[in-house]
Structure 1
Amino acid sequence: MSHQTGIKANEKLSKIFGKSKNGKIRVIKVSIENEELTCSGTTEVKKDWERDYDKLITPLLDENVPCYILYRLDTKTSMGHAWLLLSWVPDAASIRQKMVYASTKATLKTEFGSAHITEEIHCTSADEATLDGYNRHKKAFATPAPLTSREEELAELRKAEVKTDVNTDTRHQTLGGISCPLSDATIDAIKDLVKGSYDYLQFRIDLDEECIHVSHAAVVPLLELPKHIPEDHARYHLYMFKHTHEGDYQEAFVFIYSMPGYSCSVRERMMYSSCKAPFLDHLNSLGVDVVKRLEIDSGTELTEDFLQDELHPKKILHRPAFAKPKGPPNRGAKRLTRPQEES
């Protein structure tokens, strides 16, 4: 179920989107005004993208009012120049503004052309919107390249040979599972989710560090949610399911543990299984009230009907009465038996 706001780009902005593909425009500022996506300013390319970044973006940001910034990078894809989408949602903005901008981002990407947007960043403070903030974001959300089977085996051997000591920095193992620490970026992303900046987070366990990292954070329509479930690695997912039930609008955090089966190593399967319960405790301590916990093999299972049935199981109001089976036909009259007298 898509939960966009219905706000669309006005005619002027649509024309600017079309012209921007010629490579001359560096920045497009987009605001929501009068229930429309509106262009609040454009700037042409001055120098290279890194030198233009702070000079062109910072003056466009209002400390109290959200906006979107589309920033043209110097790299190219098969579609043309690559673009960065910066969502500016300051902490001082109202809850309504935060929700409207979060819900409209998917529409903005569609109207501009999702294929042109290769990177996204969500900023709530001025330092996050700088070039240094962008580089910190890239570093925090970077995902290492997957290892081959042979590399995983060698890594396991090295860990078995070297990591034999136990100290206060090693992971804490209890009967409830293995408690892996959360990276700072992961904790920040969860807090942003609670604030309404995102509705979807994906988490991965770094098997070498034995630490949980956030690998993806976004506003994701339900129809696109299956595309975010990896087919070759286990992951944890946290999704804000926005829906209606019996005429009432409801929002519920759903925790999803995806395990694609034997395409994952034995250690990966064991780590994700063992870390799940302590990780849920972490989420609860950070203010996430998980209403439903799910385990899936594939993202294709995540449909609206499936989530509705899991959160609101259908009740059987008229349970059929038990029908006593009929006896064999033509068995004759019932025989009466007398209890035997004690001798």
Structure 2
Amino acid sequence: MSHQTGIKANAELRKFFADGKTAKIRLAKVAIEDEQLVLKEKRESKSNWEKDYERYVVPLVEENQPSYILYRLDAKNSVGYDWLLISWCPDTAPVRQKMLYASTKATLKQEFGSSEIKDELHGTVVSDITLDGFKRHLTNVVRPPPLSMREEELQEIKKTEVNTDISVDTKQTLGTLAFPLTDAATKAIKDMAAGLFDYLQFKINISEESVHLAESGNIAVESLPGKVPEDSGRYHLYKFKHTHEGDYMESVVFIYSMPGYSCPIKERMLYSSCKNYLTDLISSLGLEITKKLEVDSGSELTSQYLYDVIHPTHSLHRPKFAKPKGPPGRGPKRMTKHQDAAE
């Protein structure tokens, strides 16, 4: 099953997809706005595809903003004209935008009609999407076998990823987002490791692409449910103090809270993608995490629930292993030396 962002084309764009694939239209620029795919620009044919390409494509892209361009070529196939899909994802764009556009491209293709897209071009700098850049692509790229929608999404996301080692200032790592911690958040984690706090809460500042300290202090476990917002994501660190089999224990629990689909898609993506890097970073700062949890409501965070996830009960009544029977007709059982001596 393909994991996508849930973003769909709005009514205007769907109408264009149904009625606009004619010889009159040369291209359409599509963007993501208000969690929808929207038609931003369209251009009519003036000349052949090469001259129109030079006239239209580069002026339509923005320096820091990803977008898609659907460009009609002059050749036809069994279902209509051949189209080129240009995915513009500049290096200067915010990481969250890169991921959002990469994860939504498969949906755009599906709604437009994958069979009508003859070729695809990915650009991070302007030279990638000029006419010369497209011709280099046609000359140098050997077309791979068709990919599934999920494979296409992963391939696009990997184009925006960079391998780096974990550090406080790291921005992105392979397979996850790595927004840096603010100085206050870093200090609070070290203070908790030193025993000054038993509760910390963190939030993502989306505009700054960083993780901020939202709250710190010492609270009873009964107060923990009230710390979980009902309208936004959060990360929590809580030192659960309890006894187990007569021993006093302090277990640090990392809690990722996300109240379902009441949060915007971008926020859900960012919190989900950042949590693994954050837990690694917390451990590197000297605070050992005993258990990682995900909840959508603070009501789940009772003392009994925390105890059960830290000390799960193991069943004492396991079924005995049933030895498989041997093949039929193999003759009488062989006597052992021990049996011979006993007789």
State the TM-score, normalizing by the size of structure 2: 0.46
Q: Structure with the greater relative contact order (CA < 8 A, sep ≥ 6): 1 or 2? A: 1
State the TM-score, normalizing by the size of structure 1: 0.46
Q: Tell which structure's C-alpha radius of gyration is larger.
A: 2
